[in-house]
Structure 1
């Protein structure tokens, strides 16, 4: 199998590339390196079945037009990611997420190529459900708050995939990631686990935004990659949406305390108002727990790596 991974030099993409190469596949990575890095592919850079191309899925449609027919499957991970990037550069967020996905979906439909499109738990928006299910209604905040531009752009990606699937039978699947974490993830764009771990290793204050009672579920990237490999060959997932994440919920304050404990740090916890961290009127999701019954019922998948192990892995990668 020949796989095309957009955003393949990113955090999730690089781990996926390693796994596909290990399975005997050939991998072409397209990445503009705006948030990804060649260093993420260091372990496989000399593999003759890996090709790395620096390009942009938004602007270089001719390159995509030549690559998509050559591959058996596309995994579209290229996106503007991270709350800080989304809040401070909403134009880039929207254009990257919408136009990049439109370009790759149009070509995948034209050549009837298998495609997975990465979406996000952010699309659940301001929903207050205890667990988020793939068929839930989605509640997005006001367009006056740039916080929701990312959710809206990724939701439009999902609608595009569904439209192509209905119109032409595109063998496409949406995967909604819930706080994927692990080695190689950077805290530069607001990702909380590497940000906390990095500061803890330096014995600096861990900055908890808001009241710290907002809760999240963190899933190791190795578990996420395993889920993608299980979904890729299944025709009964075409036209479907699948949550991928852990169901162990932890508040951000509890996460900070656990990071301090696991790293044996002397850091203290510092509470920062959202307005100071991001922008006036910033809105956050109070809880974010996936219902993963659908992917489990089809594939048997469930996360296996604990939050403690996640923190330890990130600590080793940053030490």
Structure 2
């Protein structure tokens, strides 16, 4: 197969490229490197089945040619991290939806299957835990920039499913829950690489809020298994599917685990959200997926636990130069 991977130089995208090439597939990456990094895919450039094009997917003339020659599309290009969402709300809305609209338009023209990487942010601040794909969403007010990303990703899903409904364009929307692992950086607000980098440096681990908010962290290698499985599953077409771990860890517990596993002398400090993101930020207390649908479709379950994840992130960061750490 020849896959087009938008956002393929990013954290998740680069791991996906590794997997596809290992499977014997051909990969074309389209990435403007705004949040992706060349370092993530530098080792692939000499691979005979790999090609990197540094450009935005908004370039429809270029995109048309790339979609025409590929067999299927992994659409991962998007805005990354809470920090970027809060600092650049206009870019968040435009970059998320406009790019997805262009990708789906070209996919529809050439009848190419699309796996759209969506987000658990779509659930908003729903308290109906665990989150089911067909459950109701609960968004905050438009005056809170926090919800711009959630709404933009939901609109992505609406458009993808509209293509499925109108023309049976094969699409699947994968709602990702806190994917973590090697190559992820903390500069856009990602908590785990931020904690591990601080612990390795002997600096304080800054926990936002009271630390009792919980998340379910899933190793990127497990997530890639799920994405590839869904791409190859015809029954997944026209579906929204949760992809993530359902094992909860509070952020306070995560900080303690990181200090222990890294064997660090770092202290743990708690800071108010307003001090980090300014006014207008809301957080969710719990974010837990129901995994029944993906288990039924492809028999997928996450295999790596939180201790393994932290150890892998630690090992990855220890091999990096200090200047390139999160």
**TM tier relative to shorter chain:** over 0.9
Counterpart in the other structure of 2:88:
89
- Superposed CA offset, 1:77-110 (max 9, x none): 0001100000010100100000000000011011
Residue by residue over 1:235-289, the C-alpha shift from the partner in whole angstroms, topping out at 9 and shown as x without a partner, is: 1111100000001101000000000000000111111100011021310011001
Which residue of structure 2 lines up, in the alignment, with residue 22 of structure 1? Answer: 22
Unaligned runs of 5+ in 2: 319-326
Other structure's SS at 2:47 match: coil
Distance across 1 between alignment mates of 2:279 and 2:92: 19
Matched residue SS, 1:290 = coil
Alpha-carbon distance between aligned partners in 1 of 2:199 and 2:148, rounded to the nearest angstrom:
31
Matched, 1:39 2:49: no
The answer to whether structure 1 residue 11 and structure 2 residue 15 are counterparts is no
Where do 1:1-319 residues align within 5 Å?
1-58=1-58, 60-319=59-318
State the SS of the aligned residue for 2:43. coil
- Aligned to 1:27, the other structure's residue is in SS state strand
Q: TM (normalized to structure 1)?
A: 0.99
How many angstroms does 1:166 deviate by? 0.9
Q: Structure 2: how far apart are the matches of 1:298 and 1:124? A: 21
The unaligned stretches of length 5 or more in structure 1 are: none
Q: Give the Å deviation of 1:45.
A: 1.9
Q: Distance in 1 between matches of 2:26 and 2:19?
A: 11
How many residue pairs match? The answer is: 318
Indicate the SS of the match to 2:5: strand
8 Å contact kept, 2:133–2:241:
yes
Q: State the 1:297 CA deviation.
A: 1.1
SS of alignment partner, residue 118 of structure 2: strand
Secondary structure of the equivalent of 2:260? helix
Shift of 1:43: 2.9
- Give the whole-Å Cα distance in 1 for the aligned partners of 2:280 and 2:5: 36
Return the alpha-carbon distance in structure 2 between the equivalents of residues 25 and 138 of structure 1: 37
Equivalence for 2:323:
none
The root-mean-square deviation of aligned C-alpha atoms, in Å, is: 0.7
Q: TM-score when scaled to structure 2?
A: 0.97
Question: Residues of 1 paired with 2:122 and 2:230: CA distance?
Answer: 21
Quote the Cα distance in structure 1 between the aligned partners of 2:206 and 2:98. Answer: 34
Q: Distance in 2 between matches of 1:138 and 1:234?
A: 26
Structure 1 Cα separation of the partners of residues 174 and 253 of structure 2: 28
Q: Deviations over 1:122-160 (max 9, x none)?
A: 010010122001000101111100000010100000000
Task: Name the counterpart of 2:322.
Answer: none
Q: Do the aligned residues in 1 keep the contact of 2:146 with 2:280 (CA within 8 Å)?
A: no
Whole-angstrom distance in 2 between the partners of 1:217 and 1:291: 11
Deviation at 1:233, TM superposition (A): 1.5
Q: Which runs of 4+ in 1 moved over 6 A?
A: none
- SS of the aligned residue for 1:138 comes to coil
Deviation string for 1:32-74 (max 9, x for gaps)?
001101110133221010000000012x111001100111110
